[in-house]
Amino acid sequence: MFTTFAAAMGNRWTVRFSATWVERPIMYVALVGYPSCGKTPPHRLALSPLLNLDHEYDREYCAKLKAYKQWGAKSPKERAALSLPEEMERPRRRCHVVVDATIEALIGAMRDNPQGVILYSDELESLFANFNRYNSSDESYFLSAFSGTPFKYIRKSTDEHIFLPNPYCSIIGSTQPGRLAKQFGGERVVNGFSSRFLKVYPDITDMPTWGSDRMPDGIMEQWERIIRKVVTFDFKGKEQPIELTFSLE
């Protein structure tokens, strides 16, 4: 829930630690537990307000994309007759959650969503397995992205140049105790990759079993209202973030 709230805040908020040190709420979180101990359900529950928003955005995007394709199928004379605009920009897909994406897809999502996104990988192994598969700099990208370092990217397939002055990407996923040494040991301890991840390792001795208990009335509705209140802002990426400062206390 803490990570979801941070992703909802995104690029709209910063905190100043010193004259030269300003941070945004970027979090890399790994939930650690044995297989079938119940890691996935709380992930989905916590992320559900952002996923519900993405579902609404998708409906809006599909309607705009349909209008754009209809516009593109008409000649300039037909557009004039129907009082359609001479130029029309292809709509961009709004989202908060990106699921198991390549670096290229992730960068495209951050370009289209300057407020920032959260990368959700149910099993972090699938994310790490793609490191260096397409590009040798994937791991180094996530090293610098943790600090929100400005980033330039060139899509060779389309010769598209993307510049992200304030990239925001949080990560949340799960893994097993037996995978920790491979995923976060060795060189990843030395280069700081492991230190960027908050490992949450609850002491789960009993595997969850079937039960008739339900979530108390109003809890998820309240969580939905909280997250929607945080993200209800048409962020374009040009606004100045709200900066928080620490008192001596």
Classify burial at 136, counting beta carbons within 10 Å of its beta carbon; exposed 0-12, middle 13-18, buried 19 or more. exposed
Q: Which residue has the higher pLDDT, 103 or 205?
A: 103
Whether residue 187 is contained in a domain is answered as yes
- Grade residue 51 by pLDDT with cuts at 50, 70 and 90: very high
Q: Which residue has the higher pLDDT, 45 or 36?
A: 45
**What would the pLDDT profile of 222-241 be if each residue is shown by its tens digit?**
999 999 999 866 777 778 88
Whether residue 75 is contained in a domain is answered as no
Whether residue 117 is contained in a domain is answered as yes
Give the pLDDT score at 232.
67
Whether residue 249 is contained in a domain is answered as no
Whether residue 174 is contained in a domain is answered as yes
**What would the pLDDT profile of 163-205 be if each residue is shown by its tens digit?**
888 899 999 999 999 999 999 998 899 989 999 999 999 887 7
CB crowding 5-25: b at 16 or more within 10 Å, else e: bbbbbbbbbbeeeeeeeeebb
Whether residue 84 is contained in a domain is answered as no
For the segment 86-90, the average pLDDT, to the nearest whole number, is 83
Q: Report angle CA 33, 35, 38 to the nearest 5 degrees.
A: 70
Give the pLDDT score at 14.
92
Please count the structural domains in the chain.
Answer: 1
- Grade residue 220 by pLDDT with cuts at 50, 70 and 90: very high
Where are the extended beta strands (E) located within 69-211?
97-99, 117-123, 151-155, 160-164, 169-175, 197-200
Q: Report angle CA 227, 212, 46 to the nearest 5 degrees.
A: 15
pTM: 0.86
Domain span holding position 149: 2-10+26-54+94-204
- Grade residue 243 by pLDDT with cuts at 50, 70 and 90: very high
**What would the pLDDT profile of 132-146 be if each residue is shown by its tens digit?**
665 556 788 888 889
Question: Do 95 and 230 touch, CB atoms closer than 8 A?
Answer: no
Where are the extended beta strands (E) located within the chain?
13-18, 21-23, 28-32, 97-99, 117-123, 151-155, 160-164, 169-175, 197-200, 242-245
Lowest mean pLDDT among 25-29, 160-164, 187-191: 160-164
Average pLDDT, the chain: 87
